[in-house]
Amino acid sequence: MLIDLTGRTALVTGSTQGIGAAIATGLARAGARVGVNGRTAERVERAVEEIRAEVPGADLVPVVADVAGEEGARRAAEALPHVDVLVNNLGIFGEADPLTIGDDEWRRYFEVNVLAAVRLVRGYLPGMSGRGWGRVLNIASDSAVAIPAEMIHYGMTKTALLAVTRGFAKHAAGSGVTVNSVIAGPTRTGGVEDFVYELVDDSLPWDEAQRVFMREYRPQSLLQRLIEPEEIAAMVVYLASDHASATTGGALRVDGGYVDSILP
């Protein structure tokens, strides 16, 4: 399948590393002009250099802004006033005893993981609808469906993001704009290898170590290995293309079979 996003402009929030960087790289490889977003100029510049090393000649726009707040959302809109593909990837997570999490922390998780996406959709959706074409993609998590006891506050925000996605898809009905969520499963991102080796024999080669980890600590996974960020990016690039024109309001899983359900 040939995916050509030439002439399209994308913004990927939180795209200086991990899944976000892989998505930005995938969109650039497909020909899109891509806004690379992070909170500091240094991190954004480094990410831009790394993506250009992967995709020579990539058309990249540095978007230095903390989009978790209103001012950051405004700065992003100034850097990229016209966006055809919005990928809300920014998110925070962490383990915590749910009985000790204070109100401010609950609010912070909701602000970063949910409201940041809502603000950007609210800002960019009218332009997409007016042009008769657009893609909004919200990166969710298996934790939206299988709420982890040690990350209830995180799981709650990802569940909310699924609801936000479905609602905005209904709002965009008939406009030529599609709105979807991507449910990412356990993924190999920064720090995960160290975490794995804390739990399994550190003398094992990586491929074997991660399989032991998945078998013993993430047995729900049918893939039985960690997902690579590029595998999640592949779904996002597809959904950003004309090939996915009939897919909207959905929660598409790239979870390695982690969620034990026929439908999300």
Active-site positions read 154
- Tell me how far apart the alpha carbons of residues 222 and 229 are, in angstroms, rounded to a whole number: 17
Collapse the DSSP code of 155 into the 3-class scheme (helix H, G, I; strand E, B; otherwise coil) and give the result.
helix
Helices and strands of the chain, counted as H and E runs: 9, 7
Amino acid at the residue 142: D
H or E stretch covering 254: strand 251-254
Collapse the DSSP code of 141 into the 3-class scheme (helix H, G, I; strand E, B; otherwise coil) and give the result.
strand
- Tell me how far apart the alpha carbons of residues 165 and 104 are, in angstroms, rounded to a whole number: 25
On whether the CB atoms of residues 31 and 242 are closer than 8 A, the answer is no
Tokens standing for residue 38 = 């992070």
Return the number of other C-beta atoms located less than 10 Å from residue 19's C-beta.
28
| Nearest one of 110, 85, 74 to 35, comparing CA atoms | 85
Q: What is the DSSP string of 6-73?
A: TT-EEEETT-SSHHHHHHHHHHHHTT-EEEEEESSHHHHHHHHHHHHHHSTT--EEEEE--TTSHHHH
